[in-house]
Amino acid sequence: METAPLSPVVRPLTETDLPRLIELNTASVPAVNLIDEEEMRALVASAGLAAGVVDPAHPELVLGFVLALPPGLDYQSENYRWFSARGDRFLYVDRIVVADGHRSSGFGALLYDAVFLAAAEAGSTEVDCEVNVEPPNPGSMAFHGRLGFEEVGRQATKGGEVVVALLARPLIH
């Protein structure tokens, strides 16, 4: 018997999703930094967009998520602060994670569609993010390039152990 193809949907994240978000985040290190439940809870609470992609048949199981932050937060991320110094009309993608086994399934693009919509609705002029270049993450660089992101800077973070490409995608209003 054939299974029907997955028709993923994006939904807001809730408090009950936190254990799954930690699980997905931890499995994606070093592409994202390791954080605990308290830090994840704070990020979800301050996010301009906290969304997960799910299978409608199992809406409780998050298969990927995005946390995008508005300007003006007291957030100590070196990368967020770099973009904050550039301006105040952005939406910053702090992390986007897709579960192993579901990458290259269109989930990342679906989550970014939600980011671009939220940014436009908030009056942002661009969406910002960073991708590791040391240690390298060529898959993510290629993915972001396909979405229209361009490198606008580079910086060493975490005491020089990580180098990131700072990426921006202008929004057309």
Does the pLDDT of residue 7 top 60, yes or no? yes
Mention every residue, 6+ apart, whose C-beta is less than 8 A from residue 149. Answer: 127, 129, 167, 168, 169
Mean of pLDDT values over 85-104? 94
C-alpha–C-alpha distance, residues 67 and 52, integer Å: 9
Q: Does any domain span residue 152?
A: no
Please indicate, yes or no, if residue 139 is contained in any of the structural domains.
no
Q: What percent of the chain has pLDDT over 70?
A: 96
Give the pLDDT score at 1. Answer: 47
Report the CATH number at residue 20.
3.40.630.30
- In this structure, the dihedral spanned by the alpha carbons of residues 114, 25, 84 and 117, taken in order and rounded to 10 degrees, is 0
| Structure confidence at residue 172 (pLDDT) | 81
Which residue from 61, 66, 118 is spatially nearest to 96, judged by alpha carbons?
66
- Judge whether residue 34 has pLDDT over 60: yes
Establish if 166 belongs to a structural domain. Answer: no
The Cα angle at residue 9 between residues 4 and 13, in degrees rounded to 5: 135
Instruction: Work out the pLDDT band at 57, boundaries 50, 70, 90.
Output: very high
Indicate whether 83 belongs to any domain.
yes
Torsion 148-154-155-156 (CA) sign: positive
Residue 64 domain boundaries:
9-125
Q: Is residue 149 part of a domain?
A: no
Q: Is the pLDDT of residue 5 over 90?
A: no
Task: Give the number of domains in the chain.
Answer: 1
In a domain, 130, yes or no: no
**Do residues 135 and 162 make contact, with C-beta atoms less than 8 angstroms apart?**
yes
Domain annotation covers residue 161: no
Q: pLDDT tens, 112-156?
A: 999 999 999 999 999 999 999 998 999 999 999 999 999 999 999
What are the DSSP calls for 24-90, one per residue? HHHHTTTTS----HHHHHHHHHH-SEEEEEEETTEEEEEEEEEEEE-TT-----HHHHHHHHH-SSE
Is residue 154 a part of any domain in this protein? no
At residue 24, the pLDDT reads: 98
State the pTM of this model: 0.93
